[in-house]
Amino acid sequence: MPELRTGMAIRLQGELYIVLDFQHQHMGRGSATTRVRLKNVATGAVKETTLRESDEFEEVRLERRPATYSYSTGDHYHFYDTETYEEIVFERQQIEKELEYLKEGTEVTILYADNVPVGLELPFHVELEVVETDPGLRGDTASGGSKPAKLETGKVIQVPLFIQVGDIVRVDTRTDKYIERVK
């Protein structure tokens, strides 16, 4: 059985999955098992399962290509490969989490397994405009606390009290945390 890693693609029982998380478990005298959270590439559904040492799965090599988010039509999101200019379309359920940070022109990396687009990798940091937040109070400082702020993509994060509507903030897409005010 190949070594599991977060983010790797595997083929299990004929289905293609991305490994979201895993945890090795060893129960007393029995054999070791691995508890795995998997995202089905075709449907976007997330499932948890237990793999035993005897379970067979195949590691699928992922290829990464740069792309740019172009536009959406209903539940379809259109990207273009910046090397081949080919259009790639994802359905909402395939990229639900990534949508929280996508705006037109965002540069992403598209993951391919068996020459089929299976997912997105966002840049580590994105800059988004604050469109809704409570007004700050006089004397608010950078270390004084935080408040919720809605970003232009609809994502809500915690920001310092001095952040106002219209400010552009840098956000870490891996942790969903405010980094700094850009302007």
Kindly list the structural domains of the chain, giving each domain's residue range(s) and its CATH number in brackets, ordered by start. Answer: 9-60 (2.30.30.30), 62-121 (2.40.50.140), 125-181 (2.40.50.140)
Element (H, E) at 132: strand 125-133
Report how far apart the first and last C-alpha atoms of the chain are (Å, whole number): 50
Looking at residue 145, what is its pLDDT? Answer: 80
Collapsing DSSP states into helix, strand and coil, what is residue 182? Answer: coil
Looking at residue 49, what is its pLDDT? Answer: 92
Helices (runs of H) and strands (runs of E) counted in the chain: 0, 15
Three-class DSSP labels, 53-73: CCCCCEEECEEEEEEEEEEEE
Say if CB 160 and CB 142 are below 8 A apart. Answer: yes
Looking at residue 109, what is its pLDDT? Answer: 93
Say if CB 76 and CB 89 are below 8 A apart. Answer: yes
Say if CB 9 and CB 118 are below 8 A apart. Answer: yes
Low-confidence ranges of the chain (pLDDT < 70): 1-2, 136-144
For residues 102 and 40, give the distance between their C-alpha atoms in angstroms, rounded to a whole number. 21
Looking at residue 138, what is its pLDDT? Answer: 55
Looking at residue 40, what is its pLDDT? Answer: 84
Looking at residue 137, what is its pLDDT? Answer: 62
